[in-house]
């Protein structure tokens, strides 16, 4: 009669168990990727096509007439291609999870002796990050080769590029996982990511053109887009070969932001999206 059941059950979660679970789920994801190499090749070829075609199409574009950049258009384009590569790969991070839902494998994972369901999120993000980082490094090396080693590149510049790309990859992969848990099927997932998110997000950023080329309404949309901050930080770092936290990355008549504020905005969005996905997976599967 005095027995009162607890409202919440506390599991013995340890970092070591979470690490092992994350590693095993990652191993399964990498097996899927290696058995389907065509998807890796396509994700690699697409940004290279953008780099080649847009770089050749606007090779003589007078960027210096509107901005302070005294460079060729292909050098102006390179930071946008780096971020777009990370975004394009990370936006599909939730697709394996969506197929697991449809084929019933996710239910098997959830009823297995898994102690921390967040390991599903961690494994998807790390799996996407490793593959995307390899693609980004390959593009950077190819860019150096195409410019005949004229690009002054160093380890510090590579580190900054990878840090900013990691923030974008993590944020985008988290949103993709959120879509995979909410949407009813892979057709809706692909339609949302490909038609409504992918290309509009690219064109509503400074990946292909500076802010001064755009009308005011498009400038406002670009300043809302997190990709703009990441692109401008990498662009200032690569073209000026030196960037500090006070370097101005956004300069318009109605908004001025420096690199420190841009990184804070990206980090805040990343934290909010991670908390949101954890709440969703706890609500749906706990």
Q: Residue 68: what pLDDT?
A: 62
Q: Structural domain tally of the chain?
A: 1
Q: Is residue 90 part of a domain?
A: yes
Instruction: Find, among 137, 33, 126, the residue nearest to 85 by Cα.
Output: 137
pTM over 0.85: no
Q: Is residue 3 part of a domain?
A: no
pLDDT in tens, the chain (286 residues): 555 555 554 455 567 777 777 788 888 888 887 887 777 777 777 767 776 777 777 767 666 655 566 677 777 788 888 888 888 888 888 888 888 888 878 777 777 777 777 778 888 888 888 888 888 888 888 777 766 555 555 777 788 888 888 888 888 888 888 888 888 888 888 888 777 787 788 888 888 888 877 888 888 888 888 888 888 888 887 776 656 666 777 777 777 777 778 888 888 888 888 888 778 777 766 5
CA dist 260 and 255 (Å) reads: 15
Q: Is residue 203 part of a domain?
A: yes
Q: Residue 9: what pLDDT?
A: 45
Instruction: Find, among 76, 75, 79, 81, the residue nearest to 51 by Cα.
Output: 81
CA dist 238 and 220 (Å) reads: 25
Q: Is residue 11 part of a domain?
A: no
Q: Is residue 1 part of a domain?
A: no
CA dist 10 and 56 (Å) reads: 59
Dihedral angle, C-alpha 92, 137, 243, 249, nearest 10 °: -30
Q: How many CB atoms lie within 10 A of CB 179?
A: 21
Q: Which structural domain range is residue 23 located in?
A: 16-285
CB 214 within 8 A of CB 201: no
Tokens of 262: 């841009």
Q: Which residues contact 36 (CB under 8 A, 6 or more apart)?
A: none
Q: Which residues contact 270 (CB under 8 A, 6 or more apart)?
A: 167, 170, 171, 174
Q: Is residue 7 part of a domain?
A: no
């Amino acid at each position: 009669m005095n027995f009162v059941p607890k409202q919440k059950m506390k599991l013995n979660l340890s970092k070591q168990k979470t690490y092992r679970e994350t590693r095993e789920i990652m191993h399964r994801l990498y097996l899927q990727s290696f058995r389907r190499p065509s998807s890796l090749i396509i994700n690699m070829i697409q940004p290279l096509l953008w780099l080649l075609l847009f770089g050749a199409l606007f090779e003589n574009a007078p960027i210096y007439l509107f901005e302070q950049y005294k460079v060729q258009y292909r050098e102006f384009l390179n930071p946008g291609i780096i971020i777009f590569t990370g975004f394009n790969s990370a936006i599909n991070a939730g697709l394996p999870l969506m197929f697991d839902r449809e084929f019933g494998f996710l239910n098997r994972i959830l009823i297995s002796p898994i102690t921390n369901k967040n390991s599903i999120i961690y494994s998807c993000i790390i799996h996407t990050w490793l593959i995307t980082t390899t693609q980004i490094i390959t593009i950077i090396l190819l860019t150096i080769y195409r410019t005949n080693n004229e690009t002054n590149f160093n380890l510090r510049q590579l580190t900054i590029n990878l840090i900013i790309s990691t923030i974008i990859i993590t944020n985008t992969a988290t949103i993709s996982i959120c879509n995979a848990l909410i949407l009813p099927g892979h057709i809706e997932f692909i339609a949302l990511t490909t038609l409504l998110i992918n290309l509009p997000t690219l064109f509503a950023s400074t990946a292909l053109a500076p802010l001064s080329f755009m009308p005011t309404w498009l400038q406002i949309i670009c300043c809302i887009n997190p990709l703009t901050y990441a692109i401008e930080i990498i662009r200032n770092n690569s073209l000026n070969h030196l960037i500090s936290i006070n370097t101005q990355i956004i300069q318009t008549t109605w908004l001025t932001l420096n690199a420190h504020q841009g990184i804070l905005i990206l980090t805040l969005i990343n934290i909010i999206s991670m908390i949101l996905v954890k709440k969703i997976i706890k609500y749906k599967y706990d």
